[in-house]
Amino acid sequence: MGTLFLAVTAAPWYLFTFGIDPFLIGLFFFMLAACGFSITLGYHRLFSHLTFQAHWLVRLLTVVFGAGAFENSVLLWACEHRSHHKHVDHDDDPYCISKGLFYAHMGWLMFKLKPEPQFENVADLKKDPLVVWQDRYIHLLAVLVAFVFPAALGYAWGGWKEALGAFLIAGVLRVVVLQHATFCINSLCHYIGSQPYSSKCSARDSWLLAIITLGEGYHNYHHEFQHDYRNGVKPWQIDPTKWLIWVLSKVGLVKKLRRVPAEKILLAELAEAQRRLEQTLARPGLTETASAYLANAYHRLMGIAQQWTERKAQQLEVTREMLTELRREIRAATSILRLSGVRFA
């Protein structure tokens, strides 16, 4: 609340009084990227979900700059996030969307009544000396990285005015912007968007939120396949965190990237498309033409599913042509659903 108050009062005052220069703009975006990727790449995909292994330098940078996001330690963040995945949409979900959009966004932090968790679900992280060190000194690290570091750079660049600007713009304002971008994953990513992989929980995919959250907006995929290092699994989907992990793997700083096989992803899409078609066909009031289109798409998907079942029973390899055909049929089925007024939402 303190950073939010300063962000809407002191930061605008500084900009009105002294203006802004390229140094402050560059420092703001540097800190936003360094702390933002430390959360998405480090706290989330590396430590919470173990989707890849990282060099000690990557691990150190993510715990240091992650502290500067002011989202607590890796240990607590991962503990709460793993609980979210295990209990999504239920009472034990720390930021349950069923309790309202505001609660999922930030209310769960503002009105915490429960004691700190016992950390049973992060036993692996409690054995990590770097994670334990960061947890012990998290508040000191947070202040040093979020506020002292940019202010010191500002002072070295242009004296006390630049130091004040760096503190307010690259420190306070950046903390608020980054926190609310992260909060959007807990709230809006369970509220708007599509559900192409599963409708078992409220998680949704949104390309717009993917931009805001450095790739975390493909949340429906993530909840269905949480141990994949990618969130935006399609080549055209916007996932800067995935791209950064891939680049780091090419220079030897990360390894053992975990990926869900394309066949498994397509089968999830197939099952969800079939469920949507069945649900729509059962609705009253459909025109004869719409029913015919939907039934045709449904039977085609059922036929492909049967082929896959038989092929698996015979332990035969799935060919690239079969994958291509399945993708084509799923796209056709979802297009028919949209034309029939049924959105994947």
**Does residue 293 register a pLDDT over 70?**
no
pLDDT digits (tens, 9 = 90+) for 118-150: 889 999 999 999 999 999 999 999 999 999 999
Question: Tell me, what's the pLDDT at 104?
Answer: 94
**Burial (CB count <10 Å: 0-12, 13-18, 19+), residue 288:** exposed
Question: Tell me, what's the pLDDT at 162?
Answer: 94
**Does residue 158 register a pLDDT over 70?**
yes
Question: Tell me, what's the pLDDT at 318?
Answer: 60
Question: Tell me, what's the pLDDT at 311?
Answer: 64
For residues 125 and 197, give the distance between their C-alpha atoms in angstroms, rounded to a whole number. 30
pLDDT average, residue stretch 75-102: 94
pLDDT digits (tens, 9 = 90+) for 300-323: 666 666 666 666 666 556 666 666
Q: Are residues 44 and 120 in contact, defined by beta-carbon separation less than 8 angstroms?
A: no
pTM: 0.86
Question: Tell me, what's the pLDDT at 222?
Answer: 97
Q: What is the mean pLDDT of the chain?
A: 87
**Does residue 277 register a pLDDT over 80?**
no
* Residue 4 CB partners (closer than 8 Å, separation 6+): 176
Higher per-residue confidence, 345 vs 168: 168
Question: Tell me, what's the pLDDT at 109?
Answer: 86
Question: Tell me, what's the pLDDT at 340?
Answer: 56
Q: How confident is the model at residue 272 (pLDDT cuts 50, 70, 90)?
A: confident
For residues 82 and 88, give the distance between their C-alpha atoms in angstroms, rounded to a whole number. 10
pLDDT digits (tens, 9 = 90+) for 240-259: 999 999 999 999 999 999 99
Q: What angle do CA 314, 317, 321 make, to 5 degrees?
A: 125
For residues 326 and 265, give the distance between their C-alpha atoms in angstroms, rounded to a whole number. 11
Q: How confident is the model at residue 335 (pLDDT cuts 50, 70, 90)?
A: low
Question: Tell me, what's the pLDDT at 262?
Answer: 81
Beta bridge partners of 53: 255
Candidates 215, 214, 219, 231; CA nearest to 191 is: 219
pLDDT average, residue stretch 281-287: 62
For residues 330 and 323, give the distance between their C-alpha atoms in angstroms, rounded to a whole number. 11
* Residue 134 CB partners (closer than 8 Å, separation 6+): 63, 64, 66, 67, 73, 74, 75, 141
Counting residues of the chain whose pLDDT is more than 90, the rounded percentage is 65
pLDDT digits (tens, 9 = 90+) for 31-84: 999 999 999 999 999 999 999 999 999 999 999 999 999 999 999 999 999 999
Rounded to 10 deg, the angle between the 22-37 and 56-67 helix axes is: 120
**Burial (CB count <10 Å: 0-12, 13-18, 19+), residue 115:** exposed
Q: How confident is the model at residue 344 (pLDDT cuts 50, 70, 90)?
A: very low
Q: How confident is the model at residue 233 (pLDDT cuts 50, 70, 90)?
A: very high
Q: In this structure, which amino acid lies at residue 186?
A: N
